[in-house]
Structure 1
Amino acid sequence: MAQDFISNPQIQPVLAELETLRKKIVSKQTQGWGAIAFGILLLIIAVAYSAVIIGVVVGAAAIIPGVVILYKISDEGALYKSRFKHEIIGAALSSIDQNLTINPNNGIAEEEFKFSQLFTQEPDRYHTEDLITGKIDKTAFYFAEVHAEYKTETQGKNGRQTHWHDILKGIVFTADFNKNFNGITVIRPKDFGATLGAWFSKNVYSFGNKNVVELENDGFNKNFVVYSTDQIEARYILTPALMEKINDLNSRSAYTVSLSFIDSRTYIAFPLDHNYFEAPVFKSLLKPDLLKNDMAILGFMYDIVHELDLNTRIWTKQ
C-alpha cells in the first residue's frame, strides 16, 4: 500500500518539492552546526595556549554566524514538517478512506486522557499531537499520539534530582460504542506490573479484588485482567466473540493493549516505541519505503472498528 501511494502521480511532484526543501535544510544545518563546532574548537585551542581573548574573538566569529544560519533555517524546517503532515500524511489518509483527516496540532485532551481510566497515574508532563479522525458507517472514531509522564524526586549528595517516567508513549484510540454504560469496565494487561508499572498505580476509581470479573476464556485470561463496577454489564459487553476479537487485536500489536468502556465510548491504549507521521530530515523522501510504518499503523487503527464490530450498531443509546 505504501509503495502504491508513493508512486501516485499526484503525490510525486509534492514529494520532489519537499525533497528539495529537505536537502536545503540539511545543508544549512550542516553549515550552522559545522561553524559552531569549528568556533568551539578554536576557543578550546586558544584557551590551551593561554590566548583566551584571541580565542573568544576568533571563536565568536565562527559561532555567531552558525547560530544565525540555524535560526534562519528553523522557520523553513517547521514549514517542511507541517507540509509533510498536511500534504503527504493527509493524502495517505485519503488513500485509505476519504473520511480520514489529520490535525497535527491537536490531540487527545489531557482531561479525556484521565477520564478514560486507563491511565491512573496523573501526568506531570503531557504532550499530544497528530489527531486523526474518521467515520466508518455510523461509527465515529479518533486517535492521537500521546506522551504522558510523571516525575519523582530523589535527594542525593549533589542535591535534589528530578526523574521522569513514562505513563504512556503511544497512541490512544477512542470510538463510539453506541451504548451508554452504567458502570466502568477496564481491561488491563496481565503483566502490566512488569511492563507498564506506572499504569493503574493510583486509580481515579479504586478497583479491588471484588471488582475482578471472572471470564470463561483461557486465552483472554492469559493476557488480561478485567475490572468492573458492574459485573453483569461487563459480561454483557465482553461476549465470547468480542473477547476473541480483542485477543486478535492484541496479537497484532507490538505491546499488550489496554481498554476501557465508560459512558458510551471505548478507549484503547497502544504503547509504541516509534513516533509516527514525522517528516524525515536525514532520509530521502523518494525512497519506496518512506511511509511503510506510517501506513501500517494507519491501516491498523482504521481496522479496529471492524475488528471490534463497532460499526454493527447492535445497541441503542438510552
Structure 2
Amino acid sequence: MDLREINNKKKRLEGFMIFGGAITGISFISFIANPVFMIGFIAGGLIMAITGSQFKKLSTDFKAIHVKKIIEDEIKGIDYDPKKGFEKEVVYGSKILKKEDRYYSEDYLSGVMKDKKFACADVKLQDVRSNGKSTTVVTVFQGRFFMIDFEKKFENDVYIMPNLSIGFNWFSELQRVDLESIAFNKLYDVFSVDKHSAFYLLKPAFMEKLIEFRSVAKRVMFGFKDNQVYIALDTRIDSFDLRMFREIDQTFFEEIKKEIKLIEELIDLIPA
C-alpha cells in the first residue's frame, strides 16, 4: 500500500470517526428528552470503536512498510518490527518499572549502534482499579523502554528515578543515596546497595548530562544492572503511529529520524 492509498484510507476513517462522534453526541443530548435515542448513542459508539480498530490496523500496515524502510535506510544494521515488543519479564526484571495489571509492548527496534547492542520498544502499563461499583483503568506508564549492553558488569545495581517517585519502595535492600549536586538531587532519587557504587557511577559530568536529559520526557528512569543499562521514558506517546487528523507530512518523518537520534544520544549519555 503506497502513501497515497494510506492517506486516502486515513481520511475516510477520519470521516467515519467524525460521523460516529456526531451521532453519539446528538443521541446523548436527545436521550434526555426521549430514551429511544439510546439506540443512536450505542450505534455511534460502535461506529467509533470499529473505526478506531481499523485505524490501528492501517497504522500497523503503514509502519510495517514505510516506517520500517525509513528506519532501516537511515542506519544499516537496525531491525524494526511494529508488531513485536519486549516480553514483560524483561521490563519488570529491570526493576525500574513496577508490575501493573495490563501490559502492552510494540514497535521493537534492535541492532548495533556505536559498537553497542541495543533494543527498544513502546511499553504501556495500566492499573485497573475497582471500588465494587465501577472500574477505572489508569495508564501508569506509556513511552519508550531501552536496553543497552554495557562492556563491563556493574559491581552493584544502581537505580536513578524521578525525584519522590511514588511506589519505588519494592527495594527494601537498597538505600537512597544523596549526591553533592543539589540540582541533581532535586530532579532524581538514586538507590543502590551501597553509596560507593552510586558515587563511582555518578561522576559530575554524568550528572550534568542527566540534568539536561530530563527535558526529554515527563519521567525518566534509569537502571544499571549487571552489564545492562535500562532506560524508561514516560512520553505518553505511541512512537511511529499514525494519528487521527494529523497529516503524514515531512514533520512526521522527521520525528521518526529523531527517535534514531535519541538512541544515539542515550548511548553517548552512558559513561564509558
Is 1:270 the counterpart of 2:238? The answer is no
CA distance, structure 2, for counterparts of residue 145 and residue 91 of structure 1: 19
Are the counterparts in 2 of residues 96 and 299 from structure 1 also a CA contact under 8 Å? Answer: no
Q: Structure 1, residues 95-115: CA drift from partner, whole Å, max 9, x if none?
A: 532233321112222111211
How many equivalent residue pairs? 269
Question: What is the Cα deviation at residue 181 of structure 1?
Answer: 2.5
Residues 145, 74 of structure 1: alpha-carbon distance in 2 compared, 3 angstrom cutoff? closer
Question: What is the Cα deviation at residue 239 of structure 1?
Answer: 2.5
The answer for the alignment partner of 1:92 in structure 2 is: 70
Are the counterparts in 2 of residues 245 and 308 from structure 1 also a CA contact under 8 Å? Answer: no
Structure 2 SS opposite 1:160? coil
CA distance, structure 2, for counterparts of residue 35 and residue 221 of structure 1: 50
Higher CA-based Rg: 1
Is 1:206 the counterpart of 2:184? The answer is no
Match for residue 129 of structure 1 among 106, 120, 140: 106
Residues 14, 139 of structure 1: alpha-carbon distance in 2 compared, 3 angstrom cutoff? same
Structure 2 segments unaligned to the other structure (5+ residues): none
Are the counterparts in 2 of residues 142 and 173 from structure 1 also a CA contact under 8 Å? Answer: yes
Residues 289, 229 of structure 1: alpha-carbon distance in 2 compared, 3 angstrom cutoff? same
Are the counterparts in 1 of residues 219 and 235 from structure 2 also a CA contact under 8 Å? Answer: no
Are the counterparts in 2 of residues 188 and 258 from structure 1 also a CA contact under 8 Å? Answer: yes
Residues 29, 233 of structure 1: alpha-carbon distance in 2 compared, 3 angstrom cutoff? closer
Match for residue 291 of structure 1 among 248, 253, 256: 253
Ranked by relative contact order (alpha carbons within 8 Å, sequence separation 6 or more), the top structure is 1
| Structure 1 length-normalised TM | 0.69
The answer for the alignment partner of 1:303 in structure 2 is: 265
CA distance, structure 1, for counterparts of residue 266 and residue 138 of structure 2: 29
The answer for the alignment partner of 1:113 in structure 2 is: 91
The answer for the alignment partner of 1:10 in structure 2 is: none
Question: What is the Cα deviation at residue 27 of structure 1?
Answer: 5.2
Question: What is the Cα deviation at residue 166 of structure 1?
Answer: 3.3
The answer for the alignment partner of 1:18 in structure 2 is: 6
Question: What is the Cα deviation at residue 273 of structure 1?
Answer: 2.6
Match for residue 141 of structure 1 among 118, 136, 146: 118
Residues 274, 177 of structure 1: alpha-carbon distance in 2 compared, 3 angstrom cutoff? same
Q: Structure 1, residues 210-243: CA drift from partner, whole Å, max 9, x if none?
A: x223433333223222110143333222223322
CA distance, structure 2, for counterparts of residue 77 and residue 214 of structure 1: 48
Question: What is the Cα deviation at residue 29 of structure 1?
Answer: 6.0
Residues 206, 288 of structure 1: alpha-carbon distance in 2 compared, 3 angstrom cutoff? same
Structure 1 segments unaligned to the other structure (5+ residues): 1-12
Identity of aligned residues (%): 23
Are the counterparts in 2 of residues 185 and 230 from structure 1 also a CA contact under 8 Å? Answer: no
Residues 101, 36 of structure 1: alpha-carbon distance in 2 compared, 3 angstrom cutoff? same
Match for 1:15: what amino acid?
L
Match for residue 184 of structure 1 among 154, 157, 170: 157
Structure 1 SS opposite 2:133? strand
Question: What is the Cα deviation at residue 78 of structure 1?
Answer: 5.4
Question: What is the Cα deviation at residue 281 of structure 1?
Answer: 4.1
Are the counterparts in 1 of residues 77 and 112 from structure 2 also a CA contact under 8 Å? Answer: yes
Question: What is the Cα deviation at residue 146 of structure 1?
Answer: 1.2
CA distance, structure 1, for counterparts of residue 105 and residue 53 of structure 2: 22
Aligned-residue RMSD, C-alpha = 3.7
Residues 75, 259 of structure 1: alpha-carbon distance in 2 compared, 3 angstrom cutoff? closer
Residues 226, 35 of structure 1: alpha-carbon distance in 2 compared, 3 angstrom cutoff? closer
1:17-56 equivalence runs, <5 A = 17-26=5-14, 33=20
Range 295-304 or range 110-119, more displaced? 295-304
Question: What is the Cα deviation at residue 77 of structure 1?
Answer: 4.5
Is 1:231 the counterpart of 2:195? The answer is yes
| Structure 2 length-normalised TM | 0.79
Q: Structure 1, residues 126-183: CA drift from partner, whole Å, max 9, x if none?
A: 11111111311320111111111223332xxxx4333333331221111012222242
Structure 2 SS opposite 1:291? helix
Structure 2 SS opposite 1:111? helix
